[in-house]
Amino acid sequence: MDTIAGMTEFNAPIELNDGVSMPRIGYGTYKVGDDKARQTVETALELGYRLVDTAEMYGNEVGVGSAVANSGLPRADVFLTSKLWNDHHGYDSARRALEASLEHLGTDYIDLYMIHWPSPKQDLYVETFQALLKAKEEGLIRSAGVSNFLPEHLERVKDETGAWPSVNQVELHPYFNQPRLRAWHAERGIATESWGPLGQRTGSLLHERAVVDAATAHEKTAAQVVIRWHLQRECVVIPKSSHTERIAENLQVFDFALTEEELDAIDALETGERQGIDPGGHER
């Protein structure tokens, strides 16, 4: 795949199953405080990011919205995503959560709004998704997605609402690269979005031989190699950093392409173990 076409292919937006176009790489804001988010999101937008991912639970929607407003970019040029938290499951509660997020973000609409966790013990995620579909009809959101859903949750959503979510944002990195889930999503037109993409909660992914060798071969950083792996494995990826140099580096992944051998070697780092919570076995 070491061709100019292969290098630039993943720079184009992905078209979601509802026709909405979404950038393939964005800036994640998990554990970035409200004040810090103003600075880092402005920096990310200045550097060329056009997807910003936040959530009610992150407590930084005001800062993110302020950064978008101060960027000087037309609102339509920024793909803004947020998520509703577990204590807002249910139709009416979800609607109130969305209205609060719109106010915090200072925007008339959210490009992609997601259910943060299925919380299966509440048994309200289908009703919650119906609230998202209604909000989409009304133009309050452009696309309705989910996060941390398992196939059993997704199938029930489809059976009871008639619609697949456009995106499922899940833990995904070379240590837990979920090939079966990615293939399952692809068969149903659901985009896979990776959270925790650099796999650094446990272990030392950026020091793994397969990653280091690819970084050396392409004169890139280990993080750039892992981000490029996500793109070439057809995932939307949202790396996070509070350092300007790294925010810039994380976007500089369109001038090289990993070979199939390099991709396979990184795939082989799979451990089968999550670093985060199991969506099916823990009530968030």
Q: What is the pTM of this model?
A: 0.94
Within a domain: 54: yes
Which is the catalytic residue, given 27, 49, 58, 125?
58
Within a domain: 90: yes
* pLDDT value, residue 200: 74
* pLDDT value, residue 2: 45
Q: Once rounded to an integer, what is the mean pLDDT over residues 93-115?
A: 98
Summarised one tens digit per residue, pLDDT across range 1-57 is 444 445 556 778 999 999 999 999 999 999 999 999 999 999 999 999 999 999 999
Within a domain: 89: yes
Within a domain: 182: yes
What's the CATH number where 176 sits?
3.20.20.100
Indicate if 91 belongs to the active site. Answer: no
Strand 141-147 with 167-171, pairing: parallel
Beta bridge partners of 235: 192
Q: Of the ranges 13-22, 109-118, 269-278, which one carries the lowest mean pLDDT score?
A: 269-278
Summarised one tens digit per residue, pLDDT across range 122-180 is 999 999 999 999 999 999 999 999 999 999 999 999 999 999 999 999 999 999 999 99
Query: Angle CA(149)–CA(152)–CA(156) in degrees, nearest 5?
Result: 95
In this structure, are residues 113 and 145 in contact, taking their beta carbons and an 8 Å threshold? yes
Within a domain: 247: no
| Number of domains comprising the chain | 1
In this structure, are residues 94 and 82 in contact, taking their beta carbons and an 8 Å threshold? no
Rounded to an integer, what distance in angstroms lies between the CA atom of residue 210 and that of residue 206? 9
In this structure, are residues 140 and 102 in contact, taking their beta carbons and an 8 Å threshold? yes
Q: Once rounded to an integer, what is the mean pLDDT over residues 62-71?
A: 97
Within a domain: 280: no
Within a domain: 219: no
For the record, the structure tokens of 229 come out as: 């792996």
Please identify which residue in the block is written with the tokens 């101060």. 70
Within a domain: 172: yes
Domain that holds residue 31: 9-200+234-240
